[in-house]
Structure 1
């Protein structure tokens, strides 16, 4: 029987409140004997760990490195192997872009290319304002490729979205992105014969972008990935009977939330803004997804010290989250992003679950090693949602 069907049949509505607090890319590896979680001064998380169940989660399968989309779908209780959703639709929905039946959308990264080699996949992380200027140039210069209409939309920092509109477009296309610096360009390929047209259009577009931007100092090329049409997925409220809200500052995570039917709240730009949004809306919802991006950004940049600082900033604002007395609080990540590797990885993700029903007293701090020894053990990422519901007394007994 379908897992979500079982859960849907067991869920009951209660007044209890759940906060899923996601520090993107939280898991890491040690540098000089300590991970960023261990190196950070986190008195609030460590105190909470003593009163919580700790464990670690595997977002997809052991050894599989997840993208942010699969990592989050797993956290939301959706099987990421069943619901394979391209990054493009998540970014597009997060930016409020309409995606129709004839559309395919893709997430774009401005990049720096030299002598055919990708030397910087993020073009020096330009500001959103700088990036928008270059998107405006592309919008003016490129409107069609063959019979396909092209539209560009600015995103955050180096990111943007491309929407392809036309007949016979399918999304079974590999990423046009080598996924690493110091490598030659990896061009799009059709993974299904029906998508040959789409792959050809993508590669023609990228070459045109390179020609238009060839004189830009850093944003002189583009990488496209996550080609996707609008998927069909059961809503969060339908499955869990939860009135759910999302607090996130980056488009992709807003898109993920919209995709599963959460209401996206105004979250500002800072951690303090996000906490204020949580406080302002506390009485209106019974589930809150709270997203912190910079732990992942600094991991991808290989900046161990700044990742430590972000964790310490989160620990500070955690006091205000706890002051609201959520019935269930989960602190975790969607995947690991070790600063040593400068990329997502397959390493299990730390999990802290706090409620009045936990087996507390088994842990002394919140970090990867304490979580590996914790009472929850190593679980699937998609099990976190059922544990949250159970601790919030929102699941009836299964069977006689």
Structure 2
């Protein structure tokens, strides 16, 4: 028996007037998920514990079976694991986004957060900018590390945990009231704009019609995590397939192997099919019992506020990820259980994460149940299956 989770990040949403009252999931053409739904268990699960921020960090920990109230120590430490940073117990890590702020001749505090991802800047360009930040900003006790795309890392020796605001929560807002109270971090962010705004990389991006990646933004502070090994918890040998450091870091912390897929970049134009093929190969030929396939694109398009692109991302997940995995396992005659779900909603109308429960689908190739005609938030909400402690859902999937 093989087990698969396809995590379509931020896929759930809220009804939109421009879609006739449908969500982007309902509006998307998802023939594969709908076909599975007719013979599957559909339900709702709360992946973000009450009182905790609705981040991909807490939510994906829940999906993986780790109670965030017990295991969560911050987002950036999980990313540090992926990058390969050996944090001391006294270190504090910060996510360092390379963001786009407005370029008028106003004080830094008056600038507007235009894009938390700088048009999904490629890692190759971002790495050059992070090197410039290292040269201009590093001081004793503070070190920068290159991550993926716009997602990078700052480590503070003997640091303190402080509350910081995610940049995707303040899109179109002036940044002044959201700046860190910590003087060193605030000073670094202001100086980062001076270093980056007219950097040759950004001048070239402007010539290509792209947003400049003109400021660092720190958030997601945390300390070194300690996750129980996944195989010990579940009895399943697992593999993680994701383009983002957060998920790869969870895998490292959980003792899972990782597969790096060429062309997988966490954006709309990621290598969807490559991820699916890697999962099938891992399950059929590499000796793995469990594959976790994470696709970031629906979440990113939700943050961008693009209805059309979020629908496209969901349709790509349906056809090129879920469809290819199901086809590959069916053709091999392998018994399997597959769960499809988002970690949290990222509604277009708010352009950030929300805490409401998410719809899930579990299909078992060995048997069928009376399902529904379509996989959607509405149909899942009508189901009798409810998981108020979402981190327990994986035990149901894995039959443990």
**Interval containing the TM-score (normalised by the shorter chain):** 0.7 to 0.9
The equivalent of 2:91 in structure 1 is 103
Q: 1:360 to 1:314 in 2, by over 3 A?
A: same
Alignment of 1:157 with 2:146, yes or no, is no
Query: What is the number of residues matched between the two proteins?
Result: 361
Show the 5 A alignment for 1:1-400.
16-31=1-16, 32-61=20-49, 65-114=53-102, 115=106, 116=109, 117-120=111-114, 121-144=116-139, 147-148=140-141, 150-165=142-157, 168-170=158-160, 172-175=161-164, 179-181=169-171, 182-185=173-176, 186-189=178-181, 199-216=182-199, 218-268=212-262, 269=264, 270-283=271-284, 284-317=287-320, 318-322=322-326, 323-324=328-329, 325-355=334-364, 360-390=369-399, 395=400
Q: 1:358 to 1:58 in 2, by over 3 A?
A: farther
Per-residue deviation at 1:357? 7.3
SS at match of 1:382: helix
Per-residue deviation at 1:176? 5.5
8 Å contact from structure 1 (residues 54, 352) kept in 2: yes
Aligned equivalents of 1:26, 1:176: Cα separation in 2: 22
8 Å contact from structure 1 (residues 363, 374) kept in 2: no
Deviations 1:318-353 (A, max 9, x none): 232113145211101110101121111123211001
Q: 1:63 to 1:137 in 2, by over 3 A?
A: closer
Higher helix share: 2
TM-score by length of 1: 0.83
Per-residue deviation at 1:102? 4.8
Deviations 1:77-134 (A, max 9, x none): 1111222221111222222333234532211112233432233233343232222221
8 Å contact from structure 1 (residues 177, 187) kept in 2: no
Aligned equivalents of 1:87, 1:29: Cα separation in 2: 26
Deviations 1:19-50 (A, max 9, x none): 11100001111222211221111111111001
Per-residue deviation at 1:157? 2.5
Uncovered stretches (5+) of structure 1, i.e. residues with no partner: 1-15, 190-198, 396-400
Q: 1:26 to 1:141 in 2, by over 3 A?
A: same
